[in-house]
Chains A and B, each alone.
Chain A
Amino acid sequence: MSEVVRLQLICLSVVGCGILILLFIKSVFPRVIGFVAIVLGIFMLTALAVPQMASLPPVEEKFDIATVKTPTDMAAIGQKIFFSKGQCALCHTIGPSESARCPDLKGIGAKLSREFLYESLTQPQAYIYKDYRHEGVPKEYPAQMPAINKNPIGLSRNEILSVIAFLQQMSGEPISIKPSELEVPGSPAAPGKAAQSSPIAVAQAH
């Protein structure tokens, strides 16, 4: 028996008790309690009838450098990050959509260089159209892209590079990021929060 079914049975029992109280007890206060039980039971049944989605903390992608052999491996990790920890899909779509809140990222890897992508992700206000639709007056209430190397998202440099690799791959572009560019944890060149350290250095790396 699933948890939802078990909860539904509990709710039905609560509603049933309420109905029995109203049917057989004449004192006012118990009757009011019976009435409240029916209302609360119906509320719980309704809440159980909608999709049951829990919000889990993002899964930390294990970034085992040793397993990343090719740029395609990086893109595969980047894809996972795009839809989970990176929360990119919360606002962006890949392909046009009615519910798009922010720029459509289809083909973005072909339109923009990796340096520009890196800067857009880590310094989103450095160079950005405030109105991404490029029409009318600029927005007074812009949909501001957060710096994803900082909290609450806080992607590491390796994770950002993987996301860029994914964006390039899904745009049909050759992936320009090599696995050798990834920082090995614990090495002198790898600071704790690598992405915050030196975007310019990354941009200059190729």
Chain B
Amino acid sequence: MRYQCEWIQRLLRIGSEYGGMLLGLVIAAGLFGLPALVFGADVAPAAPTEYRDVPYVGSRNVIWVVAQLHLLLAGFVLGVPMFAWVCEVVAWRGGEKRYDKLAKEFTKLLTSAYATTALFGGILLFLLISFYPKLMNYLTDIFFPSFILYCILFLAETAVLYLYWYGWDAMQGGGKKTFHIFLGFMLNFFAFFIMIVPNSWATFQASPVVIAEGTDMARAWAATWNPTWWPVNIHRIIANVVLGGYICGAYAGIRYLSAKTPEERDHYDWMGYVGNFIGVFGLLSLPFAGYWLMREIYQYNQQMGITLMGGFLSWLFILQAMLIGVLFLGSNYYFWLGITYRIPGSALKYRKPMLAMLVVLLLCLAVWMTPHSLVASLEEAAKMGGTHHPLLGVLGVMSAKMTVSNLMILVTFMSFIMYWRAGKQDTAGWARIAKAIMGAVLVLAGIGVIILGVWGYFVPAIIRINYFSTSQVLIVIGVMLTITPLTALLLKSAKTTTEMVWGKMPPRAGYSLVLNAIMVILLMTLMGYARSSSRVHWHVYGVVRDTSQYAFSPALGYASGIMSLCTFLFCMLVAFIFWVATMSDKAKATTEQKKVELPHGMPAMAGASSALDKPNAH
């Protein structure tokens, strides 16, 4: 096994030494291979080629998989720096070294993950130019200035990333650490712009703004600032945080399951907790951003909104409800396992609230998954008086779904608060009043959300959308903004009655973390299909029509196969990245073990400090 690793490391060393030459060979092979596509091209020498195809597989499927993998990797690469930087700041301000170690552990992934993302981006670009030359020509004509900007941003991001990662150990003390934190901020700053520039290309296709006159810059700017650009930007940035958090959790879960020593179990149990916490933190705000995006889509084009929510894609939202429901259940389950196993003695105390929360979550999920109209035969429809079930039809409408989604967010938030408070005893004199206020706020908020939901049935849709649904969202945000600081203040003076014990979680906790990550990835692939399908038979909605043989959106069953394939491939890619990135650690650990076994110490190698890599550094 060791020889195998050495062999792989030698291969990787060769790869890094001759990386440039190998890359050149790959590009040359790609360029020489491109003419092969001609075999699949329509033979039309007189007119310019509009589309090319790949026999058997289909060009659309190839683009679908590559684009989805690129997007998932990009989400990961943009989510991880946010996650790492926040952890580094927490370690810097709070003095807890284990957060710094966690941040470093994830930044280490960035260099290889960044290269893989760029590689898929390059492949995607080549394929788009080859398969959709007419569309790419049109988009290039409009977005040429932002292509230049994108290249500059990439250069800046790469430079900052190298400084950030390779300077980690060298910039640990005093002012240097402050500069390192600043580099982390700049890394996220450039990453944000790297995300929003291509977002403008994608959102332009769904909600184009085309002006015939003006300079190149004016046309590009008008096309960039299209109606769905900012809603998608905000939605994606939150989704990237969620993805980064849950992937971190899944990684920790797998490492926890295969941990050999108690130190490893402690560390990866704690890492799973942090990953799940960050994932849930983003998840709670994600539905609000999604709601805003859908609202903007309706405002831009009612037909597109109806195609999404009431047309052939309406069943997709039942699948979405299922995935989000499982994600909420998985996240809460992990919190409950944490209360049961990490805080001895709490299981009995919190059993009833946990059971109540489970029942509420399951009921909410059942309502959210209720379809508005049913697939029924003519006879069944006649008996029901239409395609709407007399009872279930009432639960399938938006008023009910908005209500239960808000209730699920409230329950998940309370799970987190419960976990936070477990094993601590309030000592502040005003604790009883604070707890009464928090209880009252929660109960009133729950009642308010339900009243608005029921009332929503009796008012015109426009009143419900503009005032009632918005009020429900504001109520839930209000609860979070009231209870979080109050709890933090209470816990500041609280006495710890039971110390948290790490490394005692059962194996199913690790699997629940993996499940959560899979749900998030599937959700991203599902909504990518929804966004693309909402354009129906248009490349650029209402402007450039898709005249290829693939100008249709496949049914959900077929699409779910591609989504699952993308999810699986992405998981394998991430696993490979993690494996490559941690390979040197394992080799280092083996060397250190040998050093300990030797009677005389070996001379230390110059370079990066390994102090933080020791398992008990925290």
B residues near A4, Cβ cutoff 8 Å: 557
Q: Would A139 and B462 count as touching, CB distance under 8 A?
A: yes
Contact with A along B538-559 (1 / 0, CB 8 A): 1001110110000111111111
Most buried by A among B462, B538, B571: B462
Please give me the residue from chain A that is nearest to B322 by CB atom: A46
Q: Name the distance in Å between A193's Cβ and chain B's nearest Cβ.
A: 14
- A128, chain B: closest CB distance, angstroms: 14
CB <8 Å contact, B254 and A29: yes
The smallest beta-carbon distance between B266 and chain A, in angstroms, is 18
Contact B518 A40 (CB under 8 A): yes
**Which chain A residue shows the least CB distance to B557?**
A48
Q: Does B15 contact A (CB under 8 A)?
A: no
Contact A55 B258 (CB under 8 A): no
Closest-CB distance, B587 to chain A (whole angstroms)? 19
Do the beta carbons of B553 and A55 come within 8 Å of each other? yes
CB of A47 closer than 8 Å to a CB of B? yes
Report if A91 contacts B (CB, 8 A): yes
Scan residues 287-318 of chain B and give those whose CB is less than 8 A from a CB of chain A: 299, 301-303, 306-307, 310-313, 315, 318
B146 close to A (CB within 8 Å): no
State the Cβ distance, B265 to closest chain A Cβ, in Å: 13
Which among A43, A52, A143, A152 is the interface contact of B541 at CB below 8 angstroms?
A152
Question: Cβ of B466 and Cβ of A55 under 8 Å apart?
Answer: no
Q: How far is the CA of A43 from the CA of B557 in the complex (A)?
A: 10
A54 CB–B CB distance under 8 Å: yes
**Pairwise interchain contact B546-A39, C-beta atoms closer than 8 A:** no
B375 contacts partner chain A, Cβ-Cβ < 8 Å:
yes
Q: Is B564 touching A141 in the complex (CB atoms < 8 A)?
A: no
Q: CA of A91 to CA of B303 in the docked complex: distance in angstroms?
A: 8
- Selected contact of B312 from candidates A37, A44, A55, CB within 8 Å: A55
- With A35-B511, A39-B515, A51-B375 in contact, is A7–B306 under 8 Å at CB? no
With A40-B568, A90-B306, A152-B541 as contacts: A55 and B315 at CB distance below 8 Å: no
Please tell me the number of chain B residues within 8 Å of chain A, measured between CB atoms: 59
Which residues in window 368-401 of B have CB below 8 A to A?
Answer: 372-373, 375, 386, 388
| Segment 113-157 of A: residues with Cβ below 8 Å from B | 133, 136, 139-141, 143-144, 146, 150-152
Q: Is the CB of B546 within 8 A of A57?
A: yes
CB distance from A18 to the nearest CB of B (A): 11
Give residues 16-32 of A contacting B (CB, 8 Å): 28-29, 31-32
Given contacts A3-B558, A36-B571, A43-B522, A151 and B388 within 8 Å (CB-CB) = no
Distance, CA A3 to CA B558, complexed state (A): 9
Question: When chains A and B are docked, how far (Å) is the Cα of A146 from the Cα of B542?
Answer: 12
Cross-chain contact B564 with A43 (CB below 8 angstroms): yes
User: How many A residues touch the partner, as a band?
Assistant: 35 or more
Cβ of B45 under 8 Å from chain A:
no
Give the Cβ gap from B262 to chain A, nearest Cβ, in Å. 17
A7 touching B303, Cβ below 8 Å: no
Q: Which residue of A lies closest to B556 (CB)?
A: A47
Q: Is the CB of A53 within 8 A of B303?
A: no
Given A54-B555, A55-B533, A58-B537, also A32-B254 (CB < 8 A): yes
Interface residues of A in 59-74 (CB under 8 A from B): none
Residues 309-336 of B contacting A (Cβ, < 8 Å): 310-313, 315, 318-319, 322-323
Q: A139 → chain B, closest Cβ, in Å?
A: 5
Give Cα A4 to B541, complex, Å.
30
B533 near A143: Cβ-Cβ < 8 Å: no
| Cross-chain contact B375 with A55 (CB below 8 angstroms) | no
Interface residue B174 (Cβ < 8 Å from any Cβ of A): no
Smallest Cβ distance from A183 to chain B, in angstroms? 22
Interface residue? A50 (CB, 8 A)? yes
Which of B372, B514, B518, B536 is within 8 Å of A55, CB to CB?
B536
B111 at the interface (CB under 8 A from A): no
In whole Å, how far is A205's beta carbon from the nearest beta carbon of chain B? 29
Given contacts A29-B258, A51-B375, A54-B555, contact A87 B518 (CB under 8 A): no
Query: Which of these, A37, A52, A143, contacts B302 with CB under 8 Å?
Result: A143
| Contact across chains for B460 and A133 when beta carbons are under 8 A apart | yes
Any chain A CB within 8 A of the CB of B567?
yes
Given A29-B258, A46-B319, A55-B536, residue A152 in contact with residue B462 (CB < 8 A): no
- Closest chain B residue to A39 by CB distance? B518
CB of B268, distance to nearest CB on chain A (Å): 12
- Sample of 20 further A-B pairs with CB below 8 A, known A44-B557, A55-B307, A57-B552: A29-B254, A32-B254, A36-B568, A39-B518, A40-B567, A43-B319, A47-B559, A47-B560, A50-B557, A52-B556, A55-B533, A57-B551, A87-B303, A101-B310, A133-B460, A139-B462, A146-B302, A151-B545, A152-B303, A152-B542
8 smallest CB-CB distances across A and B, nearest first, come from A47-B560, A57-B537, A152-B542, A52-B555, A48-B557, A151-B542, A28-B258, A55-B553
27 A-B pairs (CB sep. < 8 Å): A4-B557, A7-B557, A7-B558, A31-B257, A32-B511, A35-B511, A35-B514, A40-B518, A40-B564, A40-B567, A47-B319, A47-B560, A50-B557, A52-B558, A54-B553, A54-B554, A55-B307, A55-B533, A57-B551, A90-B310, A91-B303, A99-B373, A99-B388, A101-B310, A101-B461, A139-B462, A141-B462
